[in-house]
Amino acid sequence: MSGFKFNIDPAPPKEEKIAEHRNFGKVMHNYQRMTNPLYRTPLYRYRRVFLSLILVLLVAWLISEYGNEEQKEKQQQTADSIRKADSLNKILNDKSKR
């Protein structure tokens, strides 16, 4: 036989226990939430979703800004090295002309 025990004639619950679960406002709130389509609900209604979306956007923006700074630094270094090479070429050309 299985390890289940069935109580065929349970005692009725007490009034206090029943009163704890009587919450018509919560039932209506859950019903309205389930019948309203998610795409019509503004994002700020769900704090966790809204804050996580803001966090993801903030991280993406920071990464793009940091990436742009590195790229600008590399371009600046490349431009500086080209200028130095050009100035050295001018100096060498001037010396060879003399």
Domain ranges of the chain: 15-97
How much of the chain, in percent, has pLDDT values that exceed 70? Answer: 97
The per-residue pLDDT for range 47-66, each reduced to its tens digit, is 888 899 999 999 999 888 88
Whether 50 contacts 43, CB under 8 Å: yes
Tokens of 13: 């619950």
The per-residue pLDDT for range 12-38, each reduced to its tens digit, is 999 999 998 899 999 999 998 888 887
